[in-house]
């Protein structure tokens, strides 16, 4: 075995054995009221039903991404 290969194997073994590695999960960032209204306005649907729909979709996405 060459020195390069043995160093590479040692480094990989260290990574495999390291159980302190934690994955970072970004916190959920929802839409602001202004962003919801801007989306509704851009789609030409400013009724209150549209905003309720947007909030329901956002809630479902938040649950799915937990």
In this predicted structure, which of 5-14, 27-36, 45-54, 57-66 has the lowest mean pLDDT? Answer: 5-14
The more confidently predicted of residues 5 and 58 is 58
Place 51 in a pLDDT band, splitting at 50, 70 and 90.
confident
d(CA 41, CA 48): 12
Place 57 in a pLDDT band, splitting at 50, 70 and 90.
confident
Mean of pLDDT values over 14-27: 69
């Amino acid at each position: 075995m060459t020195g390069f290969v043995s160093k590479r194997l040692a480094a990989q073994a260290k990574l495999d054995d390291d159980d302190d590695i934690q994955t970072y999960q970004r916190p959920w960032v929802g839409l602001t009221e202004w962003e919801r209204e801007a989306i509704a306005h851009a789609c030409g649907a400013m009724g209150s039903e549209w905003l309720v729909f947007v909030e329901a979709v956002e809630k479902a996405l938040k649950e799915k991404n937990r």
